[in-house]
Each structure stands twice: as structure tokens, then as C-alpha cells.
Amino acid sequence: MVMSRTSKTLLRIILPIGGLLAAVLIFAQHNFCFSQTQTRNGANGQNVSRISLYHIPDSLKFCGERMPLEIPDVRERMEQAFYMELSDAQIILDLKRSTKYFPFIEQKLRDMNLPEDLKYLPVAESAFRNLVSSKDAAGIWQFTQDTARRYGLIVNEYVDERFNFHKATGAALSYLNDLHGSFGSWSLAAAAYNMGSAGVKASLDYQMVKNYYSLYLNDETSRFVFRIVALKEIMKHYKMYGFDLTPSDFYQPSETKLVVVAQIPDLATWARQQGSSYKELKYLNPWLINRTLPMGTWAIELPKYAEPVIFTSSTPIIDDTLHDTNSVQAEKISLVYVVKRGDSLDRIAEKFRVSAKDIVEWNNLRNRRLLRAGEKLKIFTDNQNLEQ
């Protein structure tokens, strides 16, 4: 068959492109396979999956209670939980978030004389996230509304303290302590926390057994204690399991202060008046679920650097860019002054008891003396220098 000149030209173009694409695909496949393995070889010289290099310890405990790994189905369920948690990227975020939440939980556990292993329960429940489940369990500790109210948490149209980490932690540990008193076992207490005490009690009675590892339960609860123990083992010895995290990789809790209020008509306005923002207010207080706060006694978390703003007749606005706590300016009140008709640099400088030169530098005016009505100027000043 004789090829036309056009066909030959097309072949000369297509063949190199096809070869290049094939090379790219081969490299991508090789790189993907390599990323799934650890840089170490097995007995046959092939790369070995990183996960297969690790095994569960011969002895495991939850809150001092031994896990009966000699029972075949118990060992299999434990290994399933272990390898699932070890292979999930979520464990890295669990580790990173732990430094934000564990210190407070550990202190509460010491205060209440409860086992430290309970701190891993919210990791299994929510991965330290303020989730809402299909059964309307909410917050890091995944409280239902009824249980939350029973343990003193407020849940209404304005406030949902299931999302208040500090209050919910105290309530959750009290609930777990009561469940342990009812069932006489921390494994059963954890199962009852996940499933509900009535369901666990009914299962124990019907199946005529006395411990968690002999119970046949729904899929989630039958895995729950195993997941907690797997998370405990991996998070406690994360470097041994190949997670090379440094101290700077871990998230740190925000530096905050508490402001006690009786009522807030509008959260966004109030946040501005406190030298913060609505975003920061909601981030630090996710339990505020409405835009107002009714009469009561409420402890609000705010950024440590936030200072109340004294408003002048020109209605100053907080400047969102001025939160550098290392600068001298951050030690002063930061305002945005809206220039009025007839204003001058000297008049504004006198009003805030600063120098006109400083105003020029703060606003990059390049020694411009002429101001326009409506123009916004950054002003840094001390509390005592503001006109009342």
C-alpha cells in the first residue's frame, strides 16, 4: 500500500507525540506505585507496602481493661481497625489537631480521676470536628440534644453548647463516668456512649453476656472501642508508625481571653466594638448559632489581642490588617478615620493627638497635604488620647 505525502506527514507528527504520551503514562504509573510503598525491599527484592510493615502489639488495653486478642474475631476486628486508621490520611489531621484539644481534656480527666484513654473517644467520634450526624448528634463529643440538656448544656435557637468544647468536655466526661458506674466496664461505657445506654443494656440482657467483646452489636458500635484503641496506639507512638511530624507541624490553640456579657443585640457589631470580627467570634465560639444573644450570663472567647474600640463622632472602623502583635502599633488603638469636608491633616492630628507626619507615613500620602471628603485614613493612638 502506497501512502500519500499527507499521510506520511501525519505519521511523522503523531508517532513522536504518541511515544511521549506513553512515556508520561509509564512514569506516572511508576510514581504512583512508588508513592504507595516505603523505600525498603522485601525478601524478593520488590517494594513492600508501608502498612504491611507494622503489626498490632501482642497486648492492648483500654482504660486498663485487657483486650482479649486470643479470641480470633477480636483480633481480626482489632487488626481491621488498626490498618484502617493507619492507612487513612485523616490520622495526620488527628495528630495535628490533638495539641489543640488534648491538654484541656487531660486536665479534666485528672481533675475527675478518670482514665487518660478516654481522651481518644472524641477522635473516634468526630476527629475533633464540630460535626452534626444524621441522628442529630453534634459537636466534637457528638451529644444528642436530650443527653446534652440532661448534663447541663444549653440547646436552643440562640445557643448550642454542644459546640462549646470546654463545657461539652465536662458534660461528656460526667456522662462517661455515670455510664461506667452503670455498666462496671469502660468498654461497655464507651459502647453505650456511642449507641445509647438502653440499647447496650437490652443487648446484654438478650444475649446473656456481660462484656463488650462477647456482644453482637451494630456495625458502628461493634467497631467503636477497637477504633479508639487503634487511635490510641498510633497517636501515642506515631513516629514508630512512620509519621515524621515535628513540633511545628502540630496546630496550636488560639490565644484568647474571656469576656462575660449579659446580652448581645447584634454579634457582628459587638465583635467590631471589641476590636475583633464576626469571623473570629464565630470561629472561637461555634456555639453561638444566631446573630443575637439573649439575656443571660455568657462567657465569650475573643482573641487575646482584641481591645475595645472607643468610637468617635466620625464612626471609626477597625482595620483588619493591624493584628501584628510584635509591632509598636499593635499596642495602640487602630482606627480608620473618614475624612469630613473641611478637614486637614493638622486638624485630624490634633484631634487624635498624633503628628501629621505620622498620618502621612501610616497612609503613604507622600507628603500630600490635600485631603478628600470620604477618604479613609489609618490612625494609631492610645486609649487616653481619644476624644470622648
Q: How far apart are CA 2 and CA 4, in angstroms?
A: 7
| Residue range 42-60: mean pLDDT, rounded | 76
The single-letter code of the amino acid at 153 is: L
Q: How confident is the model over 321-345, as pLDDT tens digits?
A: 444 444 444 455 667 787 887 788 8
pLDDT at 264: 93
pLDDT at 330: 45
- CA 258, 288, 144: angle at the middle one, nearest 5? 115
Q: How confident is the model over 232-260, as pLDDT tens digits?
A: 999 999 999 999 999 999 999 999 999 99
Phi, psi of 246 (to 5 degrees): -105, 165
Indicate whether 155 pLDDT > 60.
yes
Taking the alpha carbons at both ends of the chain, their separation in whole angstroms is 98
Which of the four pLDDT bands, split at 50, 70 and 90, describes residue 116?
Answer: very high
Which of the four pLDDT bands, split at 50, 70 and 90, describes residue 32?
Answer: very low
State the burial class of residue 226 (Cβ atoms within 10 Å of its Cβ: 0-12, 13-18, 19+). buried
pLDDT at 100: 97
Q: Which helix (H) or strand (E) holds 377?
A: strand 376-381
DSSP code of residue 39 = E
DSSP reduced 3-state for 187 = helix
pLDDT at 46: 57
Q: How confident is the model over 293-310, as pLDDT tens digits?
A: 999 999 999 999 888 876
Lowest mean pLDDT among 64-73, 242-251, 347-356: 347-356
Considering just the CA atoms, what is the radius of gyration of the chain in Å?
A: 30
pLDDT at 355: 85
Which of the four pLDDT bands, split at 50, 70 and 90, describes residue 44?
Answer: low
Indicate whether 283 pLDDT > 90.
yes
Indicate whether 171 pLDDT > 70.
yes
Angle between helices 90-112 and 165-183 (to 10 degrees): 70
State the burial class of residue 70 (Cβ atoms within 10 Å of its Cβ: 0-12, 13-18, 19+). exposed
Handedness of CA 352, 354, 357, 363 (dihedral sign): negative
The single-letter code of the amino acid at 340 is: K
Tell me the percentage of the chain whose pLDDT exceeds 90. 63
CA distances from 287 to 38, 165, 197, 253, 356 (A): 43, 9, 26, 17, 45
The single-letter code of the amino acid at 300 is: I
Higher pLDDT, 359 or 224: 224
Indicate whether 385 pLDDT > 80.
no
The single-letter code of the amino acid at 157 is: E
Q: How far apart are CA 85 and CA 280, in angstroms?
A: 32
* pTM given for the model: 0.71
pLDDT at 145: 96
The single-letter code of the amino acid at 228 is: I
DSSP code of residue 116 = G
Total residues found in the chain within this entry: 388
Give me the chain's average pLDDT, please: 84
pLDDT at 356: 83
DSSP reduced 3-state for 248 = helix
Q: How confident is the model over 86-111, as pLDDT tens digits?
A: 998 999 999 999 999 999 999 999 99
β 298-303/256-261 pair status: antiparallel
Indicate whether 36 pLDDT > 50.
no
Q: How confident is the model over 135-149, as pLDDT tens digits?
A: 899 999 999 999 999
pLDDT at 27: 45
Q: Which residues of 174-208 are buried (b: 16+ CB within 10 A; e: fewer)?
A: bbbeebbeebebbbbbbbbbbbebeebeebbeeee
Indicate whether 365 pLDDT > 90.
no
pLDDT at 378: 80
Higher pLDDT, 309 or 230: 230
Cβ proximity of 138 and 163 under 8 Å: yes
- Cell numbers for 44, please give them: 524478593
Which of the four pLDDT bands, split at 50, 70 and 90, describes residue 379?
Answer: confident
- Cell numbers for 236, please give them: 501515642
Cβ proximity of 213 and 186 under 8 Å: no
pLDDT at 232: 98
